[in-house]
Structure 1
Amino acid sequence: MSAIDRRQFLRLAGLGGAVFASGLARTPAARAAAMANEDFFFVQLSDTHWGYEGPANPDARGTLPKAIDAVNALADKPDFIVFTGDLTHTTDDPRERRKRMAEFRDHIARLDVKTVRLMPGEHDASLDAGKAFREFFGPTSYSFDHKGVHFIVLDNVSDPGARLGDDQLGWLEKELAGQPADARIVVFTHRPLFDLYPQWDWATRDGARAVGLLSARQNVTVFYGHIHHEHHQMTGPVAHHSARSLIFPLPEAGSQPKRTPLPWDPAQPYRGLGFREVKAAPAAPAYALSEFPMKA
């Protein structure tokens, strides 16, 4: 008998014997409808800043491998993994930038999951308009569907002015227009789309236009990175959730004069670092978030 994981068993147990009688006879449309009624979860990691060296994380070269080990050790395998930007630390040297991206790519190849989704942060893309990122990882904005949810990846970092731009906003409008009014939509981006704290570059200059488009929908959630700590906010009906970093934590907006990393604590070496599980259930309009702190 083939192995079956806990989530699969619970789904089959809930369906009862009918699954064995009808599964093979389903049409493609019926199979798609059935998948839309499945629960699933994905893992969000963010701001790995591969290539960083400094006192804010003396274990900068060890933290990403440890995070990969932690994700691989999860009891259930996620449907996919997403990195919400700043995969690498900024550098003015194009050769060094590509070297860091190659090393990051080699590290994440160890992730024990079929699908890994990537997007750039400003450290990856603002100095060359995303050219090196596209060479290694493909488009900086795109969409995909998974088990009844429409996912949209927005690029608010390749423009050094922190803008989405008219073309991308037009594309977003078309993406939304192609979805039913009650469609479940998740947006991934790096910077916050709303003005969290523009003084620290925690904003998107034309993000209000994107939020306006998203706010016309019934069920939209945004997951982002950039600010290196958890933050949860509503803009009208749209929920926004930032993720912890995997390199160093940053302070809450305006809590200190400058946007400098929180100091490394040898007694708690990975304090403030971590990743997130996001669980989607068809009957629940919101997503269940579980935070996993990094451990030594």
Structure 2
Amino acid sequence: MTDYHDSQDSYESYDSHDEEHGMTRRQLMRHAGWFGGAVVLTVAGGEVISHIAGPRGTDAEAAAFATATGSGALRFVQVSDSHIGFQGPANMDVAGSFTEAIRQVNSLGFRPDFVMHSGDLTHLSTAGQFDQVKQMLSGMRTDRVFTVPGEHDSIGDAGRAYRRTFGTGTLGDGWYSFDTHGVHFIALVNTLSLEKLGHLGNDQIDFVRRDLAGLSSDTPVVVFSHIPLFAMYPQWGWSTDDALKVIALLRRFSSVTCLNGHVHQLFTKTEGNITFHSATTTAYPLPRPGTAPAPTPQVVPARQLKHALGIRSVGYRQGDRELAVKDQPLT
């Protein structure tokens, strides 16, 4: 944390339950492959209902986002998977595209209360790459920058170099929590004890148990991690093997949102009171689950690359019980 100026279901198996959570199969499949509009999530009755705006959005959708990001609201930005140090045809200039993402954050028309980078800040977790991304993050016009590590930030040293650069004020292997605007945030680390799936470990799960114990059940909770906390596609390691122990602790809260990176694409799944929302990347796209032998960087025409990369802004106004999420491509 740096302060600057569950099942083995397949990807397809999630579709059969989406309509009861406010999304049809067609809507969800559009969402999974969609870049460029706004995804508005409304918290109501303990469920997050997702609908997809067009490139400009309807007047009602624009009003909903404006309400949630108006005066006195919490407004923050999520960026993910910058992979500083990557070299390859999928993106010949990841530092340049991350610079574009930072410029876009700085041009949103509001100053975010904080920016969260949800992992894979670097590609090879070298000291030089950590220094470079730290310097780049310092250019964000926000009061605070928070981070969680990705597996690429933990290569060869179990995350020690990452924690030396970004771990000030964190606990254990880099986890922590904080409160602002009536929302409780938890930042988790599930990229250290990797065999195939993400892993939290008993010490971190105990931290979550103690951290949540004193909160009332109507407190909105937002959880950040790098690897998804649901079984998005375990065949590619897109899941966390012991996440259900944390999910069980979150069930008593009326509104829980889990935001992750790692998969380099937009995807939303809702289970009761919990929504899981995967972010896109600022580096390079990965294939949709089941469409390729492995999740390797995808080469797209140069003029299409920015449409597959992006940032996420989130707004929440205390007492309204609304959470607005807007995903935007790099432009």
Q: TM-score, normalised by structure 2?
A: 0.74
Matched residue of 2:306: which SS?
coil
Indicate yes or no: 2:201 matched with 1:165: yes
Indicate yes or no: 2:107 matched with 1:86: no
Stretches (4+) displaced over 3 A: none
Indicate yes or no: 2:294 matched with 1:294: no
Would you say the 8 A contact 1:55–1:264 is kept in 2?
no
Indicate yes or no: 2:269 matched with 1:233: yes
The structure-2 alpha-carbon separation of the partners of 1:286 and 1:223, relative to structure 1 and needing over 3 Å to count, comes to farther
- Note the residue ranges of structure 2 that are not aligned, 5 or more in a row: 1-65
Matched residue of 1:275: which SS?
strand
**1:256 positional shift:** 2.5
Provide the rounded CA distance (Å) in 2 between the counterparts of 1:249 and 1:286.
30
TM alignment of 1:96-135, pairs within 5 A: 97-135=126-164
Provide the rounded CA distance (Å) in 2 between the counterparts of 1:286 and 1:222.
15
TM alignment of 1:57-68, pairs within 5 A: 57-68=91-102
Would you say the 8 A contact 1:265–1:271 is kept in 2?
no
Indicate yes or no: 2:173 matched with 1:137: no
**1:191 positional shift:** 0.4
TM alignment of 1:203-214, pairs within 5 A: 203-214=239-250
User: Pick from 46, 59, 78: which aligns with 1:44?
Assistant: 78
Provide the rounded CA distance (Å) in 1 between the counterparts of 2:330 and 2:208.
34
Provide the rounded CA distance (Å) in 2 between the counterparts of 1:269 and 1:164.
33
Q: Deviations over 1:32-62 (max 9, x none)?
A: xxxxxx4221000000000000000122231
Provide the rounded CA distance (Å) in 1 between the counterparts of 2:73 and 2:244.
32
Matched residue of 1:269: which SS?
helix
Provide the rounded CA distance (Å) in 1 between the counterparts of 2:278 and 2:155.
20
**1:149 positional shift:** 0.5
Would you say the 8 A contact 1:153–1:188 is kept in 2?
yes
Would you say the 8 A contact 2:112–2:143 is kept in 1?
no
Provide the rounded CA distance (Å) in 2 between the counterparts of 1:255 and 1:212.
32
User: Pick from 290, 295, 298: which aligns with 1:254?
Assistant: 290
Q: Deviations over 1:206-262 (max 9, x none)?
A: 112111221232221111100000000013321011111000111222122322222
Indicate yes or no: 2:278 matched with 1:242: yes
Please name the residue that 2:90 is paired with.
56
Provide the rounded CA distance (Å) in 2 between the counterparts of 1:214 and 1:152.
11
Provide the rounded CA distance (Å) in 2 between the counterparts of 1:281 and 1:44.
17
What is the aligned-residue identity percentage?
Answer: 38
Q: CA RMSD in A?
A: 1.7
The structure-2 alpha-carbon separation of the partners of 1:126 and 1:56, relative to structure 1 and needing over 3 Å to count, comes to same
**1:77 positional shift:** 0.9
Q: Deviations over 1:186-217 (max 9, x none)?
A: 10110001111111110111112111221232
Provide the rounded CA distance (Å) in 2 between the counterparts of 1:77 and 1:63.
21
Larger radius of gyration: 1
Provide the rounded CA distance (Å) in 2 between the counterparts of 1:53 and 1:113.
29
**1:126 positional shift:** 4.8
TM alignment of 1:1-12, pairs within 5 A: 11=71
Matched residue of 1:128: which SS?
coil
**1:263 positional shift:** 1.6
Stretch moving more, 201-210 or 279-288? 279-288
Provide the rounded CA distance (Å) in 1 between the counterparts of 2:124 and 2:271.
31
User: Pick from 185, 188, 191: which aligns with 2:227?
Assistant: 191
What is the letter of the counterpart of residue 277 of structure 1?
A: S
Provide the rounded CA distance (Å) in 1 between the counterparts of 2:204 and 2:288.
30
The structure-2 alpha-carbon separation of the partners of 1:284 and 1:232, relative to structure 1 and needing over 3 Å to count, comes to farther
TM alignment of 1:271-290, pairs within 5 A: 271-290=307-326
Q: TM-score, normalised by structure 1?
A: 0.83
Q: Deviations over 1:120-167 (max 9, x none)?
A: 001102532211111001132100010111100011012234210001
Provide the rounded CA distance (Å) in 1 between the counterparts of 2:316 and 2:273.
18
Stretch moving more, 141-150 or 61-70? 61-70
